[in-house]
Amino acid sequence: MEENTETKVEVGSNRVYELGYLFVPGILEENVAAEATALKDLVLSFGALPISEEYPRLIELAYEMEATINNKKEYFTTGYFGWLKFDLDPEKVAALHDKLALSDKLIRFLLIKTVRGSTMSSKRPYGRDTKRRTTTKAEDGTTVPPAEINKEEIDKQIEALVSEEVAA
Partner 1 sequence: MKQDYFSANNIKHIDYKDLEILKRFLTPNARIMSRRRTGITAKNQRKLALAIKRSRFMGLLPYVAR
Q: Which residues are at the interface with partner 1 (CB under 8 A)? A: 5-6, 20, 22, 59, 61-63, 65, 79, 81, 83, 108, 110, 112, 114-115, 119-121, 123-124, 126, 129
Distance in Å, CB of 4 to partner 1, minimum: 9
* Residue whose CB is less far from partner 1, 101 or 160: 101
**Is residue 35 exposed (0-12), middle (13-18) or buried (19+ Cβ within 10 Å)?**
buried
Question: Shortest Cβ distance from residue 2 to partner 1 (Å)?
Answer: 8
- Minimum distance, C-beta of residue 17 to partner 1, in the bound complex (Å): 13
Q: Which amino acid is at 16?
A: V
Is the CB of 26 or the CB of 47 nearer to partner 1? Answer: 26
Quote the radius of gyration of the chain (alpha carbons, Å).
28
Residue environment code for 50-82, b if the CB has 16+ CB neighbours within 10 A, otherwise e: ebebeebeeeeeeeeeebeeeeeeeebeebbbb
Element (H, E) at 62: strand 49-69
CB of 3 to partner 1, least distance (A): 10
Q: Which is nearer to partner 1, 63 or 145 (CB)?
A: 63
